[in-house]
Amino acid sequence: MIQGSSRTTSQQDHTLGEALATALLVTSLAVLVGAYAGFLESLLLTGIGSTVMTARAAVNVAVLYGLMFGCLGLVIGLVAMGIGAATGWRTATGRTRCLLGSGVSVFVVLVIAGAYMNELFLPAMISKQALVADGVLLVACVLLWWFIYKASLRWLERSRSLRGWRSPMRWAWLCLVLALMVTGVASPGLGAGRLASERARVAKDLNVLLLVIDALRADHLGCYGYERDTSPNMDTLAEEGVLFRNAYTHGSRTKESTASLVTSLYPSSHNVCNMANAIPVSCATLMNELHGHGYRTAVFSANPLVSPLFGFGRGVDLFYAKTPIAERLVIIPQTLRKPTLRLGVLLAFERKLERLFPLPVEETPFLGGSADTLNSRLLSWIDEEPKAGFFAYVHYMEPHLPYAPPAPFDKVYDPDYQGERITEPPLPSGLTAVPYSEGSELAPEEFRNLVAQYDGSISYVDQEIERLLEGLRSRDLAERTLVIITADHGEELYDRGGWSHGHTVNDELVKIPMILWCPSLVPGGQVAEGVVRHVDIMPTIFGAVGHDSDSTAVWLEGVDLWPCVSGGSGLPVGLPALSEVYSSGSCARSLRVGPHKIIQELSGSDAEYQLFDLSTDPGERRDLSVSRPELLQSMRAELEQMISDSESKKAAVRAGVVDEATKERLESLGYVM
């Protein structure tokens, strides 16, 4: 009896050991599958989503997913142990492992495929389309499970001689390792555009400071003839440097214009024409090129559209913006943060797992987006390595709506106003030629205060720009810093019955200020009448710093103005200025050549045209499309040829990964996602 009891105990121990081994195998398989899923998602975000995903972040995401899936696999393994204990593990060990291995694998496929399908392609998790798609996916996974299970059983029977390698769980583990290695080798360099390792900082003869003032009209600056003294400091820079009287952006929204600014490509080429689009990795960017040229680089942005989420982070050493860390932009953490899934326990659990990241998380504290804060952060960054050559792009949000300058600038131009401030664009009262819209009429005193607040915001930024330059002077950097001041677009202030931007390509929105200042290199007092464009800024900076852009020159659609402005020899004439804006399946395009400008409005296959002579009609009030048909035909042919040339280089569309907080922030600023 004692001998039988001993045999029974030994069998139970053996059964328990087999159960534990099975649970551990399920857990390890789940860890590896999770890590692989995280790595694949990082590649997805890099290739078609957002360049915010660096190699460091990809490792952390792989670890996070591995831990999450491992916990899930452990639960499944423990449940399997419980079932085995209750049934005495009557099923053969090999059959049990086949069952669990195929089940876990298919369950992971179900979770990953379902998450991507619902997050990226379907309107909502509980929509009719989502429920139907989930049902089809579930049936497909059940069939897949049955196929894998039966195939693994047949394979197990045929591979008895392999002994230690006959376990399907071990083969699955090995296959995933090989898949991970192959994917890593075949991937096009995860986060290749960003800093991969520390490099030696080098001193440069010329620093570059690009200041972009959001929604700034050229004709509201004193140097462009405005009656109010809104910009005394920028006016001084214009007098001491080069003032471009006819400068154009390539879109009347931040999305198109800033992408063109940092790539020297028209919107039809870079293809960043919708709110969720990011700059394609195939497009060379100003920051990335200068970083490769040895410059220390930084971006300080108060606009959520100018962030690493939308492709502006490549080659940037410091990106100061309100941007979530990359590890929190993958699907599972995003899902846990959705308002419809207030799963506090799971969210807290995920945060605890983040503490196990093998590489430190780099999250720049965001102290605010006002002009003074951006400038203070910029000067602090310069002080970290004062002898290193730097390039900095600063994107001020003032005077973008809601036109709310700080005191005392809110009272400068309309101190007696007692009414309610107008802070949101009026709803359209009717549509004219798509995509144009007209706003509700404002009372005279409301309109006067609206413009006063807009002008007050300009004065505030003007003051902060002077403070920034004083900071450079106190550091003996001003003389060897090239400063470029411009705007991403203008602003309509009831020029055509509405206000805000992004709805036309008339001059109040696409004709922007451009001032270039560098006391040691640029002769002052130059006023350039010729047309220049945002696409010219990138090659001009390359010319100023001596960057050999032969590798990217084939893609640059702008021209290098540096020889002209540094030598005081005047600018080339006849540069065509193309602008585009896209909205809800419609688009408007404009082309200025010399004094003439054509506007094309497209809605589906319908096209309408307007023609203006800006030398006699700067307000674009007299349409010449009927009276001058030959000129219209010539301008139309040139516009269509430029669009065709740009579209021949069109980059693949990439959807940026927009978290809920960023989406809410964009919508609060009037952007529609």
Which of 186, 219, 237 terminates a domain? The answer is: 186
Same domain, 151 and 217: no
- Tokens linked to 463: 């003051």
Same domain, 429 and 524: yes
Residue 79 within any structural domain of the chain: yes
Q: Which of 25-29, 81-85, 122-126, 518-522 has the lowest mean pLDDT?
A: 122-126
How high is the pLDDT of residue 470?
Answer: 97
Same domain, 248 and 108: no
Same domain, 180 and 234: no
Same domain, 413 and 545: yes
Residue 111 within any structural domain of the chain: yes
Question: Facing residues of 296 across strands?
Answer: 390
How high is the pLDDT of residue 22?
Answer: 65
- CA–CA distance from 178 to each of 182, 185, 445 (Å)? 6, 11, 71
Q: Considering the entire predicted model, what is its pTM? A: 0.72
CA-nearest of 279, 274, 245, 275 to 262 is 279
Q: Give tens-digit pLDDT for 617-669.
A: 999 999 999 999 999 999 999 999 999 988 877 765 555 555 555 555 555 55
Tell me if 450 sits within 8 A of 493, measured CB to CB.
Answer: yes
Q: Is residue 7 scored above 50 in pLDDT? A: no
Same domain, 175 and 27: yes
CB burial string 151-188: b at 16+ within 10 A, e below: ebbeebeeeeeeeeebbbbbbbbeebeeebeeeeeebe
Number of domains in the chain: 2
The band of 440, judged by pLDDT with boundaries at 50, 70 and 90, is: low
CB burial string 581-605: b at 16+ within 10 A, e below: bbbeebbbbbbbbeebbbbbbbeee
Same domain, 161 and 218: no
CA-nearest of 22, 151, 174, 10 to 96 is 22
The band of 213, judged by pLDDT with boundaries at 50, 70 and 90, is: very high
Parallel/antiparallel/unpaired status of strands 318-320 and 296-301: parallel
Q: Which residue has the tokens 């001020």?
A: 396
Residue count of the chain, please give it.
673
- Total Cβ atoms within 10 A of residue 558: 23
Tell me if 499 sits within 8 A of 445, measured CB to CB.
Answer: no
Same domain, 151 and 227: no
- CA–CA distance from 206 to each of 78, 209, 295, 388, 587 (Å)? 64, 10, 10, 10, 40
Q: Is residue 398 scored above 60 in pLDDT? A: yes
CA-nearest of 275, 236, 195, 176 to 581 is 275
How high is the pLDDT of residue 583?
Answer: 73
Same domain, 158 and 254: no
Same domain, 420 and 287: yes
Q: Give tens-digit pLDDT for 499-519.
A: 778 788 999 999 999 999 999
The band of 166, judged by pLDDT with boundaries at 50, 70 and 90, is: very low
**Which of 80-89, 134-143, 237-246 is the most confident on average?**
237-246
How high is the pLDDT of residue 547?
Answer: 84
Question: Taking residues 54-66, what's their average pLDDT?
Answer: 79
State the average pLDDT for the chain. Answer: 78
Same domain, 138 and 243: no
Residue 195 within any structural domain of the chain: no
Residue 225 within any structural domain of the chain: yes
Q: Is residue 673 scored above 50 in pLDDT? A: no
The band of 461, judged by pLDDT with boundaries at 50, 70 and 90, is: very high
Supply the CATH number for residue 402's domain: 3.40.720.10
Q: Which residue has the tokens 């589906």?
A: 604
Residue 178 within any structural domain of the chain: yes
Tell me if 543 sits within 8 A of 562, measured CB to CB.
Answer: yes
The C-alpha R_g of the chain, in whole angstroms, comes to 30
Same domain, 419 and 513: yes
Residue 643 within any structural domain of the chain: no
Domain range for residue 105? Answer: 12-186
How high is the pLDDT of residue 359?
Answer: 76
* C-alpha span between 198 and 265 (Å, rounded): 30
CA-nearest of 337, 376, 373, 338 to 354 is 337
